């Protein structure tokens, strides 16, 4: 089983075909960054057209059983997520509505302060807000996973502690492996896994040691180190693959509607645009390379299976439904 914990590609039939070529059974896809509720509904409508036009390759999924059905039919299950709480606007009632429409992950922040928590680019991190605590409880109730991939340290730790269900960091790497602002410090990872949470390792070059030149062996060795520290059951892949997206999209991700200035993310104009992917992971067709790399650094069959998808599958099975 191969599952990717997050992608935001410029979707096309070719990419869906590459998912099948790489044996990818399920992908958590971003349908909202800065979109408010109505705009998010339009993205769901857009995906309905993808399912209609490419139904031989992809199917919508809301449960782990849907992933099983997709595998049995030789198709890739598509799971919806939001990288910001913008779709719920200031209305906690929209949490349940969005879950009903198929959303299964929602970040409490992107990079900035939100109504719920603090993003990883803010100078001060006061943690979860009053609304944040209420929304986490509502997300727990309906089965919408709390994702803290772009959140600041205290906010992430408080979310893990406050949530009645395990939370996720769907796409990031350890800060002590590569000190990008978006990568996670040890105390943050410890808080997430302590309550049974999941972390997907990112293949976005700004999050990789040596960037686009990161080696397969180096990436898989990092995964082996994390599995040894915290237990293999807490980890998977969250590639953050943004295949075929134009550079204007990364600017929109960072800027949204909150500023008139260009935000260069990690702090330098050198980070403008999308960097090249490592040559060993250029598309969904390259998932077998990850499996080979994990075997080369010493994982047995069970460990490879867990990291490539079984852990995400088990997490979906436990957390996509109501309490």
In this structure, the number of other CB atoms found within 10 A of the CB of residue 52 comes to 8
Span of 12-16, 258-262, 267-271, 291-295 with lowest mean pLDDT: 267-271
Average pLDDT, the chain: 96
Q: What's the rounded Cα separation, in Å, for the pair 294 and 313?
A: 19
Residue 107: its pLDDT value, please? 98
H helices present in 26-152, as ranges: 37-53, 64-72, 93-100, 130-142
Residues whose CB is less than 8 angstroms from the CB of residue 20 and which lie 6 or more positions away in sequence, other chains included: 57, 74, 75, 76
The mean pLDDT of 213-217, rounded to a whole number, is: 98
Q: What's the rounded Cα separation, in Å, for the pair 71 and 82?
A: 24
Q: Does 273 have pLDDT greater than 90?
A: no
Percentage of the chain beyond pLDDT 90 is 93
Q: Does 153 have pLDDT greater than 80?
A: yes
Cα→Cα distances 228→120, 190, 194, 196, 222, Å? 27, 13, 15, 16, 10
Q: What's the rounded Cα separation, in Å, for the pair 226 and 204?
A: 18
The mean pLDDT of 4-9, rounded to a whole number, is: 98
Report the DSSP beta bridge partners of residue 60.
Answer: 78
Band (pLDDT 50/70/90 cuts) for residue 261 is confident
Q: What CATH number does the domain containing 18 carry? A: 3.20.20.140
Residue 1: its pLDDT value, please? 96
Span of 73-87, 149-163, 262-276, 282-296 with lowest mean pLDDT: 262-276
Counted domains in the chain: 1
Q: What's the rounded Cα separation, in Å, for the pair 107 and 86?
A: 9
What's the domain range around 107?
3-319
Helix H or strand E segment including 302? helix 301-305
pTM of the model: 0.96
Percentage of the chain beyond pLDDT 70 is 97
Q: What's the rounded Cα separation, in Å, for the pair 102 and 95?
A: 11
Span of 40-44, 175-179, 225-229, 263-267 with lowest mean pLDDT: 263-267
pLDDT in tens, 20-60: 999 999 999 999 999 999 999 999 999 999 999 999 999 99
Residue 262: its pLDDT value, please? 79
Residue 268: its pLDDT value, please? 52
């Amino acid at each position: 089983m191969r599952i990717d914990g997050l992608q935001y590609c410029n979707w096309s039939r070719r990419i869906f075909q590459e998912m099948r070529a790489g044996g990818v059974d399920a992908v958590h896809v971003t349908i909202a960054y800065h979109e408010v509720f109505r705009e998010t509904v339009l993205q769901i409508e857009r995906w309905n057209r993808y399912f209609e036009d490419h139904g031989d390759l992809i199917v919508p999924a809301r449960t782990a059983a849907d992933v099983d059905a997709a595998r049995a039919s030789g198709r890739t299950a598509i799971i919806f997520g939001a990288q910001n709480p913008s779709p719920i606007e200031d209305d906690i009632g929209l949490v349940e509505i969005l879950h009903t429409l198929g959303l299964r992950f929602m970040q409490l922040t992107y990079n900035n302060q939100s109504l719920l928590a603090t993003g990883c680019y803010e100078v001060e991190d006061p943690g979860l807000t009053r609304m944040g605590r209420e929304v986490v409880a509502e997300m727990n109730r309906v089965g919408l996973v709390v994702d803290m991939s772009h959140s600041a340290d205290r906010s992430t730790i408080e979310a893990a502690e406050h949530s009645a269900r395990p939370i996720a960091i769907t796409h990031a790497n350890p800060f002590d492996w590569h000190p990008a602002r978006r990568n996670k410090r040890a105390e943050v990872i410890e808080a997430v896994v302590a309550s049974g949470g999941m972390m997907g390792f990112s293949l976005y070059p700004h999050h990789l040691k040596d960037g686009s030149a990161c080696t397969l062996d180096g990436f898989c060795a990092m995964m082996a180190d994390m599995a040894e520290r915290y237990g293999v059951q807490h980890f998977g892949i969250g590639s953050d693959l943004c295949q075929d997206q134009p550079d204007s999209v990364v600017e929109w991700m960072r800027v949204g509607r909150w500023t008139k200035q260009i935000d260069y993310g990690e702090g330098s104009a050198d980070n403008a645009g999308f960097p090249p992917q490592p040559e060993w992971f250029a598309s969904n067709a390259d998932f077998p390379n990850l499996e080979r790399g994990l075997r080369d650094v010493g994982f047995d069959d069970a460990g490879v299976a867990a990291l490539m998808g079984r852990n995400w599958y088990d997490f979906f099975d436990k957390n996509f439904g109501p309490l």
